[in-house]
């Protein structure tokens, strides 16, 4: 099949760029002497996960039990569920997963850990956990070394879990200028290291220190005392990463083919890809929903559910109804989750059609 034969909107992956992105990150992490455990929430696609393992990843990271189940069903057997798992329905699924694969889970409080431990002990299991630290994002995670050591001591008394390490998602780096990122990454790495050392000094076997983000990857690869890295969006990249200076536009491997369905005026083109194609995630200004690769000065400035609005006042193209435009989404992870399938292309040839197996697995 040829890319021009695809009906739109269609999510397409450029295989050459995907392979290059996967190889580059694998090299960076390997040269830094660390293990790679990519976050698969970006692609949600077992075929891409297998490419990451083939390039040297030691396992995968997921955010939800549903993602873990989808990847376990596809044969993945080493999974870090890097999130707080709360509620008996999820705990039961987590225990079922722990019987099938090597499973690690995040915790940041006794309120999260105690029910998990109780149910695991009753089932004759001991689940390895990693303490989540906040290093600046202001999301879940312990804020101080003292809090982490106090929790570590409480967890050491629980029968159904075993502290295995510490982790952070240094997502705050994404909001910084490229110059400010390096010192902030090193500070985050130092905090993770310090907590791991303090836990070990208190007799708690926190063996592994794990960090994870694409904007921080270069600096984290060089940081001492870090064992594992979990970048996610690097497989595809997106307009957000381009605007934040992480990467050049021609490294973006994911795009959406959309068809022009209306030309109400010379200044406006309407496409068949709106928020149900790209998601509602958009940048603050300019071409907010995505980069129109045919002409980056065409501004994809707003969208309804099934309509994309392109402002062509500064554009050089004048597309006609029926023309197909290729648009790099603002946020790859959110756009992928809108699609059942992704078309893997080499140049203009469609080499494979992949199911986005963990699409919509929000529980």
In the complex, least distance from residue 291 CB atom to ligand PLP, rounded to whole angstroms? 18
Binding residue (CB under 6 A) for ligand PLP from 8, 21, 164, 214: 214
Stretch that binds ligand PLP, among 95-103, 183-191, 228-236, 260-268 (CB under 6 A): 228-236
Binding residue (CB under 6 A) for ligand PLP from 232, 273, 290, 308: 232
d(CA 162, CA 111): 16
Q: What angle do the packed helices 145-156 and 178-201 form, to 10 degrees?
A: 40
The answer to whether the beta carbons of residues 103 and 81 sit under 8 Å apart is yes
Binding residue (CB under 6 A) for ligand PLP from 65, 212, 273, 319: 212
CA angle 140, 44, 248 (to 5 degrees): 85
Instruction: Give, as one character, the DSSP assignment of residue 63.
Output: S
Stretch that binds ligand PLP, among 122-130, 178-186, 210-218, 347-355 (CB under 6 A): 210-218
Using CA atoms, how far residue 112 sits from 18, 115, 133, in Å, is 37, 7, 14
Q: Is 169 near ligand PLP (CB under 6 A)?
A: yes
How many residues touch ligand PLP (CB under 6 A)? 14
Q: Of residues 38-67, which lie at the interface with ligand PLP (CB under 6 A)?
A: 39, 61
Give the residues across from 228 on adjacent strands: 35, 210
Q: Of residues 77-136, which lie at the interface with ligand PLP (CB under 6 A)?
A: 82
Stretch that binds ligand PLP, among 87-95, 146-154, 225-233, 250-258 (CB under 6 A): 225-233
Between 254 and 260, CB nearer to ligand PLP: 254
Number of H helices, E strands in the chain: 11, 17
Closest CA to 44 of 329, 356, 338, 335: 356
Residues that bind ligand PLP (CB under 6 A): 39, 61, 82, 169, 171, 212-215, 230-234
């Amino acid at each position: 099949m040829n890319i021009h034969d695809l009906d739109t909107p269609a999510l397409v992956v450029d295989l050459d760029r995907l392979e290059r992105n996967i190889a580059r990150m694998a090299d960076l992490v390997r040269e830094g002497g660390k293990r790679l455990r990519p976050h698969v929430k970006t692609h949600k696609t077992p075929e891409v996960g297998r490419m990451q393992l083939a390039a040297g990843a030691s396992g995968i990271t997921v955010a939800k039990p549903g993602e873990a189940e989808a990847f376990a069903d596809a044969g993945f057997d080493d999974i870090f569920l890097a999130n707080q798992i709360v509620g008996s329905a999820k705990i039961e699924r987590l225990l079922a997963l722990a019987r099938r694969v090597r499973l690690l889970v995040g915790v940041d409080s006794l309120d999260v850990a105690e029910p998990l431990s109780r149910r695991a002990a009753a089932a004759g299991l001991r689940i390895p956990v990693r303490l989540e630290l906040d290093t600046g994002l202001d999301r879940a995670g312990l804020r101080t070394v003292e809090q982490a050591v106090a929790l570590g001591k409480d967890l050491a008394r629980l029968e159904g879990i075993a502290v295995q390490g510490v982790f952070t998602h240094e997502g705050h780096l994404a909001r910084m200028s490229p110059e400010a990122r390096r010192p902030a990454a090193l500070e985050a790495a130092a905090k993770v290291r310090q907590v791991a050392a303090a836990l070990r000094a208190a007799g708690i076997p926190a063996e592994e220190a794990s960090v994870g983000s694409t904007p921080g990857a270069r600096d984290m690869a060089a940081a001492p005392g870090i064992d594992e890295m979990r970048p996610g969006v690097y497989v595809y990249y997106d307009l957000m990463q381009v605007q934040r200076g992480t990467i050049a536009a021609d490294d973006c491997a994911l795009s959406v083919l959309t068809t022009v369905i209306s030309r109400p005026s010379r200044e406006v083109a309407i496409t068949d890809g709106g928020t149900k194609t790209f998601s509602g995630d958009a940048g603050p200004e300019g071409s907010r929903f995505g980069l129109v690769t045919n002409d980056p000065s065409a501004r994809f400035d707003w969208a309804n559910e099934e309509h994309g609005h392109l402002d062509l006042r500064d554009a050089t193209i004048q597309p006609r109804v029926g023309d197909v435009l290729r648009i790099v989404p603002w946020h790859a992870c959110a756009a992928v989750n809108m699609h059942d399938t992704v078309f893997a292309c080499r140049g203009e040839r469609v080499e494979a059609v992949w199911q986005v197996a963990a699409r919509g697995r929000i529980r």
